[in-house]
Amino acid sequence: MQKVMNVTYRLYRRKNGKYYAQHNETGRQISLRTSDENTAKLLLQGHNEGSRDAQVSREVGLAYLSCTDPEAKKRTWAWVFAEVLKTKSKDTDNYRRWSVAIRDKAFNSIRTMPLIDTRSDHFLKVLHEGSVSTNVFLRRIHNFAIDMAWLARPVIVKRQWPKVKHRKKRAVTWEEQKLIMSGEKNTERRDFYELLWHTGASQGDLAILRADMIDWRQSTIHFFRRKTGTPVCQRFAEEVAVILRRRPADGLLFPSQDRRPAANFKPNFVRRHHRGQRPGGVLIDCSRGRSSRPREPSRPACGIRRQCGRSQNIAWPWREF
């Protein structure tokens, strides 16, 4: 009797044959989900040890876990980062994006932390110190660890993940674009930024543009999106033709831009835009936003574009079709 009183739970068997752990003081019962007496006694022992000493309980649990997964105590988040990276194809933009993402300084607090020691407050600290990109990639890494059964349960359940909140973005205005152009001394880079304004293409796509991608008879540019592989055909007006004629007649139109890593495009553009003493607001990394552009004769209004659709009679400086 004295032995029973020294423990928190005692074994209780209901009429249906199921065993329960019953609290000796409150009478609250916890289902052990078994009808086998020996199994029930082992589970009851775990409940009593856990209530007596959480640290001892943890060590016992790790001892059981190491029998089924010997590497469980050694896996850190840095190891998971490396395993995720192995699933990506090298020499691709996706691989480079992941390589940059896992070097995020916000991950430093969990980089050497074992997965089994990770709590929700550890993740919340990372999300608080990081950016939108940190939130997106931590979700992916977390889901990868769960799918590979390296985590017994989610660190943060799906409905409790902080929402992704993007900062307000806008495109450069025509006045800001003129300031950028006037301050650029390099002729190749000036043509590059001017063509970005007229076409609305991403910097990565325009950097790999070659002379053989231009159809002078049809006044069109053909290329494949660097990120998605989607084919793009854009008609261009005379103002774009003037820029294209200044570029090499063979090979790459912008050789120095093609050699530049994709991660450097946005910082370089922002630095040059800062020289123009930009006003408040957050900019996208090129002139792709259309709402801030002036409506010139070669740029029909949005309503006209919707009515005309893919008409070949109108020069679409940035239209993809």
> 219 and 290: one domain?
yes
Structural domains counted in the chain = 3
| Position 233, amino acid | C
Bridge-partner residues for 21, per DSSP?
A: 11, 30
The two structure tokens encoding residue 149: 């059964």
283 in a structural domain = yes
The two structure tokens encoding residue 38: 């020996």
Per-residue confidence band for 202, with pLDDT thresholds at 50, 70 and 90: confident
**Residues with Cβ < 8 Å from 133, sequence gap 6 or more?**
101, 104
What is the phi-psi region of residue 88: left when phi exceeds 0, alpha when psi lies from -120 to 50, beta otherwise? beta
DSSP string, 70-92: TTTTT-BHHHHHHHHHHTSPTTS
| Position 110, amino acid | I
> 145 and 190: one domain?
no
- Average pLDDT, whole number, for the chain? 77
In this prediction, residue 72 carries a pLDDT of 76
> 155 and 189: one domain?
no
In this prediction, residue 54 carries a pLDDT of 62
Q: What is the pLDDT of residues 250-307, one digit of tens each?
A: 999 988 876 655 555 555 555 555 454 444 443 444 444 443 343 343 333 333 233 3
> Per mean pLDDT, which range of 49-53, 60-64, 121-125, 169-173 is the poorest?
60-64
> 49 and 112: one domain?
no
> 59 and 145: one domain?
no
Q: What is the CATH number of the domain that holds 232?
A: 1.10.443.10
CA quadruple 305, 308, 309, 311: dihedral sign = negative
93-102: which pairs have CB atoms within 8 A and are 24 or more residues apart? 93/204, 93/226, 93/227, 93/262, 96/261, 96/262, 96/263, 98/137, 100/263, 101/133, 101/137, 102/137, 102/141
> 266 and 154: one domain?
no
Q: What is the CA 196 to chain-centroid distance, rounded?
A: 25
Per-residue confidence band for 177, with pLDDT thresholds at 50, 70 and 90: confident
123 in a structural domain = yes
In which element (H, E) is residue 257 found?
A: helix 255-258
> 32 and 152: one domain?
no
In this prediction, residue 277 carries a pLDDT of 45
Q: Across 64-78, 211-225, 274-288, which has the greatest mean pLDDT?
A: 211-225
Q: What is the pLDDT of residues 22-52, one digit of tens each?
A: 988 888 899 998 999 999 999 888 888 777 6
Domain coverage including residue 33: 2-68
Count the residues in the chain: 321
> 32 and 85: one domain?
no
> 95 and 121: one domain?
yes
